[in-house]
């Protein structure tokens, strides 16, 4: 427990909250405080009707004709919320599969309205909080984020007439910081590289702010909020299952909160327990050692990586290894050059976690005899024009010429998963 009532965190937070009505008592909450949310029964209790989901099927071939762009349109005008989900799936096998008997498909999650997969969870978590009475009229929504959840929360708040404050850290690209501001709320940029239990860690700032003013602030707590994973169990999982006509054999995704991986895999495994889920984790993240080497949380050592939005410095409460079978770890350079390949060969701009996922899917395709791998393209490359797609930045960071070949990558499998 930190006791810094007159310390730097107080000053840091006070500058964003005006005017303070009472003196603040600073209690930094440990990141270890988690909810027990690993219960697969959630799925059984909340079945999904396939007709609830609006799915757009993509062609499996590259088409240069404009008619090939979209095969499903809605009948009339829609509202902002209706733009979320129902994303097309593209066939990237010809570029990324190392085996002619393995297909690789990728869900275009960057097509969600705020530019990322996080639109699926933001509205879901906010609406659940309103419906349960935890988020009341007049309260301000507070969310710690690596950037995409912040933009999605901003959008979800805008459509509901709510105020928001989002907290990110200095690793976040300027494009993401600006987009979080654009919806009219406040953005706090905390330090990056501070330990996960430090009071100035962006996740702990959310908790501290909410602890001090629970009447007026509602904390989203995406890392421990079970509605995060549930949103994927109810939308992404069913979409993937339907779009592949149940033929998916492997699901690959990176993890920050673990919502995408846990929630989607939980649905897919409920339909077919043989479907395997593989985490794509950047080198330096602690998730790898916790999953692969069973290193306990208190002994994990965090490294450095540049890919935004995936990999963690602590184990989030939403992530459940029960729904994960294997792991692949890629480096920054492989991810970023994969993004550039996707841009120049597919004409699609995606972010670093998409590059990591595609690289992992490619490695996996070389390790299995046959199958259908589905992965996600979580956000748009437009959010990283100043980084991944900027030659100067890539040179400065020393990535140029450092890409790993997918042929040389390895997959770790849980002993009962092979």
Ligand X SMILES: Cc1ncc(COP(=O)(O)O)c(C=O)c1O
Residues 359-398 within binding reach of ligand X (CB under 6 A): 378-379
Among candidate residues 234, 192, 224, 300, the one with its CA nearest the CA of residue 52: 234
Q: Among the candidate windows 26-34, 204-212, 252-260, 391-399, which touches ligand X by CB under 6 A?
A: 252-260
317 binds ligand X (CB under 6 A): no
Of the pair 10, 146, the CB lying nearest ligand X is at 146
285 binds ligand X (CB under 6 A): no
- As measured in angstroms, the least distance from the Cβ of 224 to ligand X is 12
85 binds ligand X (CB under 6 A): no
Q: Using CB under 6 A, which of 29, 112, 146, 169 touches ligand X?
A: 146
Binding residues for ligand X, rule CB under 6 A, total 17
255 binds ligand X (CB under 6 A): yes
Of the pair 196, 261, the CB lying nearest ligand X is at 261
- As measured in angstroms, the least distance from the Cβ of 128 to ligand X is 16
Q: Using CB under 6 A, which of 126, 154, 310, 364 touches ligand X?
A: 310
Is 118 among the catalytic positions? yes
Q: HEC string of the chain? A: CCCCCCCHHHHHHHCCCCCCCCCCCCCCCCCCCCCCCCCCHHHHHCCCCHHHCCCCCCCCCCCCCHHHCCCCCCCCCCCHHHHCCCCCEEECHHHHCCCCCEEEEEECHHHCCCCECCHHHHHHHHHHHHHCCCCCCCCEEEEECCCHHHHHHHHHHHHHCCEEEEEEECCCCHHHHHHHHHCCCEEEEECCCCCCCCCCCHHHHHHHHHHHCCCCEEECCCCCCHHHHHHHHHCHHHHHHHHCCCCCCEEEECCCCCHHHHHHHHHHHHHCCCCEEEEEEECCCHHHHHHHCCCCHHHCCCCCCCCCCCCCCCCCCCCCHHHCCEEEEECHHHHHHHHHHHHHHHCCCECHHHHHHHHHHHHHHCCCCCEEEEEECCEEHHHHCCCCCCHHHHHHCCCCCCCCCHHHCCCEECCCCC
148 binds ligand X (CB under 6 A): yes
Q: Using CB under 6 A, which of 115, 238, 254, 371 touches ligand X?
A: 254
Q: Using CB under 6 A, which of 256, 285, 329, 403 touches ligand X?
A: 256
Q: Using CB under 6 A, which of 260, 320, 335, 338 touches ligand X?
A: 260
> Pick the catalytic residue: 107, 118, 176, 269?
118
265 binds ligand X (CB under 6 A): no
- As measured in angstroms, the least distance from the Cβ of 318 to ligand X is 7
Of the pair 281, 289, the CB lying nearest ligand X is at 281
351 binds ligand X (CB under 6 A): yes
355 binds ligand X (CB under 6 A): no
- As measured in angstroms, the least distance from the Cβ of 149 to ligand X is 6
Q: Among the candidate windows 122-130, 192-200, 253-261, 361-369, which touches ligand X by CB under 6 A?
A: 253-261
235 binds ligand X (CB under 6 A): no
258 binds ligand X (CB under 6 A): yes
**Site residues (vs ligand X, CB under 6 A):** 146, 148-149, 254-261, 309-310, 351, 353, 378-379
Catalytic (active-site) positions: 118
């Amino acid at each position: 427990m930190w006791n810094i009532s007159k310390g730097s965190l107080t000053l840091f937070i006070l500058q964003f909250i005006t005017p303070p009505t009472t003196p603040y008592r600073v209690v930094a909450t440990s990141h270890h405080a988690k909810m027990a949310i690993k219960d697969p029964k959630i799925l059984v209790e909340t079945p999904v009707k396939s007709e609830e989901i609006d799915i757009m099927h993509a062609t499996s071939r590259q088409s240069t004709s404009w008619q090939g762009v979209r095969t499903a349109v809605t009948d009339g005008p829609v509202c902002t919320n209706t733009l979320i989900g129902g994303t097309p799936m593209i066939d990237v096998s010809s570029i990324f599969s190392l085996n002619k008997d393995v297909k690789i498909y990728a869900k275009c999650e960057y097509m969600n309205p705020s530019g990322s997969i996080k639109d699926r969870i933001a509205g879901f978590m906010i609406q659940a909080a309103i419906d349960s009475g935890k988020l009341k009229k007049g309260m301000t929504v507070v969310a710690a984020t690596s950037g995409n959840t912040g933009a999605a929360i901003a959008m979800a708040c805008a459509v509901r007439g709510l105020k928001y404050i989002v907290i990110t850290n200095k690793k976040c690209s300027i494009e993401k910081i600006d987009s979080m501001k654009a919806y009219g709320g406040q953005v706090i940029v905390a330090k990056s590289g501070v330990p996960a239990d430090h009071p100035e860690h962006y996740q702990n700032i959310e908790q501290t702010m909410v602890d001090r003013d629970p009447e007026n602030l509602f904390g989203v707590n995406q890392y421990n909020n079970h509605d995060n994973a549930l949103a994927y169990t109810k939308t992404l999982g069913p979409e993937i299952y339907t779009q592949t006509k149940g033929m998916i054999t492997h699901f690959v995704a990176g993890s920050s909160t673990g919502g995408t991986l846990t929630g989607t895999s939980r649905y897919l495994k409920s339909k077919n327990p043989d479907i395997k889920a593989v985490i794509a984790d950047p080198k330096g993240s602690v998730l790898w050692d916790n999953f692969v080497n069973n290193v306990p949380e208190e002994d994990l050592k965090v490294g450095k990586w540049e890919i935004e939005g995936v990999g963690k410095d602590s184990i989030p409460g939403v992530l459940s290894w029960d729904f994960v079978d294997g792991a692949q770890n890629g480096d920054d350079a492989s991810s970023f050059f994969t993004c550039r390949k996707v841009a120049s060969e597919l004409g699609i701009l995606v972010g670093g976690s998409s590059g990591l996922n595609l690289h992992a899917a490619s490695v996996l395709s070389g390790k299995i005899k046959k199958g259908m791998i589905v992965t996600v393209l979580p956000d748009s490359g437009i959010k990283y024009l100043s980084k991944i797609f900027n030659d100067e930045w890539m040179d400065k960071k020393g990535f140029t010429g450092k890409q790993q070949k997918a042929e040389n990558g390895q997959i770790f499998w849980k002993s009962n998963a092979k």
